[in-house]
Structure 1
Amino acid sequence: MKIIGLMSGTSVDGIDAVLIEVSGQETDLKVELLAGETFAYPEELRAKILAVCSGKPISLDKLASLDDAIALNFAQAAQKIQSQKSPAKLIGSHGQTVYHRPPLIEGTDKNLGYSLQIGRGELIAHLTGIKTISNFRAADIAAGGEGAPMVPKVDACLLSHPTKTRAIQNIGGIGNVAYLPPNQELNWQQQIRGWDTGPGNALLDLAVARLTDGRQTYDHNGQWAAQGTPNQQLVAQWLQQDFFQQSPPKSTGRELFGQDYLNQCWQDMEQAQLNDSDRLATITELTIASIAHSYEQFLPQMPDEVLLCGGGSRNLYLRQRLQAKLTSAKITTTDRSGIDGNFKEAIAFAILAYWRVNSIAGNLPQVTGAARAMLLGDIHVP
């Protein structure tokens, strides 16, 4: 089956669109990437999304308009990535997350979480004429889960190794990990773990925009940060934040690691009299240290290999610093194992759509904390 996958993450860089061909079911799953492209949001639309993500109030009327605009852009991305000779039969659209609240734990009662992805699937289905699956996180959350991370089962089917322990580390706006034991081990699927590790590129991108008055949105290849020296004392101080100490299952977003969090870090860095490059090096180091700390505290063992994906995997300085922290693991990318790291998340939501129409559960309860495995996504027929 040919499937389109659509994804825009917490970095709000644009819409990652893929066209893949899928065969098999789960452990025999095979994927061929036929096309992949990132379609930038119009700048005005991106600014509106970032404002909502940062907690700026919005009327229901404007929220409805934003929902429609995102759906239109997603549908256009699907049409552009579409093969005219052999059209796709299905679309998996993650939509754009504008709010994520993990389950609230008060005493012994655990209240349900909430996650809102807009860019409505029914409109995408109508505009493209292709059956569309969307709203993937809701079923897991209804079963008591975090609704994130959503892709560890896909990672397990595509990237597990017969003899090596692997950690698949996505570094988008937020970082998340899927821990994969060797797939030749007995009951290996029950040993898969995953959670959000903390900030990925979100704080770093906000810092770059702040230092350049918005003229630059990211640190290309980490070149600016590489000129500085990270302040390890500040990083150690920031790692005391409650989220980093919380045991999995856990998830997070811009609601925690956003502009307000950066403002607090900025005050600390001003008091420490850091220059601009030292500030970027220190914020980059927080991402690195949060990943390493997460592995040391919560993994059953350190992985043999760490396979990076997402925008942060292209940051050479970040990769070098992570290798310096995780000396026992080989740091590489998912590209080396046949899955394009730029489009892995979009590929994953195409597969989750494929599983939904084939009545195959998409979540892993031990990862998200859901009471049971669930069919993920709402089906929209054009």
Structure 2
Amino acid sequence: MQVIGLMSGTSIDGIDAALVTIQGKNLDLNVHLHGFSTYSYPRQLRQQLLDVCAGSPLSMAAFAQLDDAIAHAFADAAQQLQAEYGGSADLIGSHGQTVFHRPPSGSHLGYSLQLGRGDLIAHLTHLPTVSNFRVHDIAYGGQGAPLVSRVDLSLLGHPEKSRCIQNIGGISNVTFLPPLGQIDDHGSGVIGWDTGPGNVLIDLAVNHFSQGEKTYDRDGEWAATGEICQPLVEKWLNHPFFQEPPPKSTGRELFSPDFLRACLGDAQAYDLSAADCLATLTDFTARAIARNYQQFLDVPPDQVLLCGGGAHNTYLRQRLIHHLAPIPVLTTTEMGVPVDAKEAIAFAVLAYWHHHHCPGNLPSVTGAKAAIPLGQAWG
């Protein structure tokens, strides 16, 4: 079956689209990537999304218009991808664009909202579309995140080595995979959670210091010219989120423009330059990941495999290597799953599993009461 996976993460930097052929059942899958592209949001639409994620109010009419606009952008990406790579898909799996995420608390279910209507994507592309992947996990008491851990197990599990699959998007999340021989059919032993900020604070700071001329720190070049302020890193790591045990999830609601403003306010006492602030925020991101491993893993992994946009940030990767030493830090590309395409591939797989009535979540990761198929089908 040929499936298109569509994904836009918390960095809101565009729509990742992957065209794959998937064969097999349950965890025993063969996935072949035919083509991958990232399609930028129109500038005005991206800014509107950033504003909404930062708390800007919308009327219901404007909300509906935004939902439709994102669906059109996702449908266009699916059609362009097929035209570019000559494919003819049977199914679309669309994550949509997260604009709000609230983890569960006590007896209260969580809430997660992804815009980009699956019914409209199905209507525009004339292809069956699976969307709204998070809601069923949340309905079963789960976090609704991270959702790709079962895909990580299927595609990146190793017979003998334990691995941390570390995604660094706007928000960072990890899946810990024991050796395959130690994992049963229900994924027992696999754990995962959101580790905290990925690129989000760095990107916001770059935009701030460049007065809107830049949206990210390419290869970490700007941060690499600065000096890290370790007292600030230690202070920021005292935030309660980092002390919470898994399962846990977060988003731009916490690691927000307000969070960055507080960080920059803290930095004033140390007379830091823009480069110093970026170096400190980058090290904070790396330290947060390493601290999560130290606090919540019984044993360190044999390997760490990076994916997501942050895997391209050379300085961030250097800081991770430093803080995780002597654990080897590699990329999923080196294991056959391209760094940039991995999340889009994952939602193609989740749609495939939904089509075959196969569970998509791992309760040991999300905290849900059961393993269930994820998503709603349209068309």
Q: Deviations over 1:298-341 (max 9, x none)?
A: 01211111000000000111111100000121001000000011
Query: Do structure 1's residue 201 and structure 2's residue 199 form an aligned pair?
Result: yes
State how far apart, in whole Å, the 1-side matches of 2:22 and 2:215 are.
35
Counterpart in 2 of 1:352?
Answer: 350
Could you tell me which amino acid in structure 2 is paired with residue 154 of structure 1?
A: V
Q: Any idea what SS the aligned residue of 1:250 has?
A: coil
State how far apart, in whole Å, the 1-side matches of 2:169 and 2:118 are.
23
State how far apart, in whole Å, the 1-side matches of 2:145 and 2:86 are.
36
| Pairwise CA RMSD | 1.0
Q: Which is further off, 77-86 or 195-204?
A: 77-86
Q: Deviations over 1:336-381 (max 9, x none)?
A: 0000110111000000000001000100011001111111000001
Q: How many residues align?
A: 377
Counterpart in 2 of 1:142?
Answer: 139
State how far apart, in whole Å, the 2-side matches of 1:2 and 1:157 are.
18
Q: Any idea what SS the aligned residue of 2:181 has?
A: coil
State how far apart, in whole Å, the 1-side matches of 2:220 and 2:50 are.
23
Query: Do structure 1's residue 295 and structure 2's residue 293 form an aligned pair?
Result: yes
State how far apart, in whole Å, the 1-side matches of 2:364 and 2:59 are.
37
Q: Tell me how far 1:271 sits from its aligned partner.
A: 1.5
- TM-score between both structures, scaled by the size of structure 1: 0.97
The 5 A counterparts of 1:154-233 are 154-185=151-182, 187=184, 189-233=187-231
- TM-score between both structures, scaled by the size of structure 2: 0.98
The 1:129/1:315 distance shift into structure 2, 3 A limit, reads same
Counterpart in 2 of 1:112?
Answer: 109
Unaligned 5+ segments in structure 1 are none
State how far apart, in whole Å, the 2-side matches of 1:85 and 1:35 are.
9
Query: Do structure 1's residue 307 and structure 2's residue 280 form an aligned pair?
Result: no
State how far apart, in whole Å, the 1-side matches of 2:363 and 2:91 are.
26
Q: Deviations over 1:117-154 (max 9, x none)?
A: 01000000000000000000000000000000000000
Q: Any idea what SS the aligned residue of 1:247 has?
A: coil
Unaligned 5+ segments in structure 2 are none
Query: Do structure 1's residue 338 and structure 2's residue 339 form an aligned pair?
Result: no
The 5 A counterparts of 1:1-382 are 1-82=1-82, 86-105=87-106, 110-185=107-182, 187=184, 189-381=187-379
Q: Tell me how far 1:272 sits from its aligned partner.
A: 1.4
Q: Tell me how far 1:230 sits from its aligned partner.
A: 1.0
- Identity, in percent, stands at 55
State how far apart, in whole Å, the 2-side matches of 1:235 and 1:30 are.
42
Q: Deviations over 1:259-278 (max 9, x none)?
A: 01001001001111111111
Q: Tell me how far 1:26 sits from its aligned partner.
A: 2.9
Q: Any idea what SS the aligned residue of 2:145 has?
A: coil
Confirm or deny: 8 A CA contact 1:304 1:328 kept in the other structure: no
Q: Any idea what SS the aligned residue of 2:98 has?
A: strand
Q: Deviations over 1:93-119 (max 9, x none)?
A: 0000000000123xxxx2100000010
Q: Any idea what SS the aligned residue of 1:80 has?
A: helix
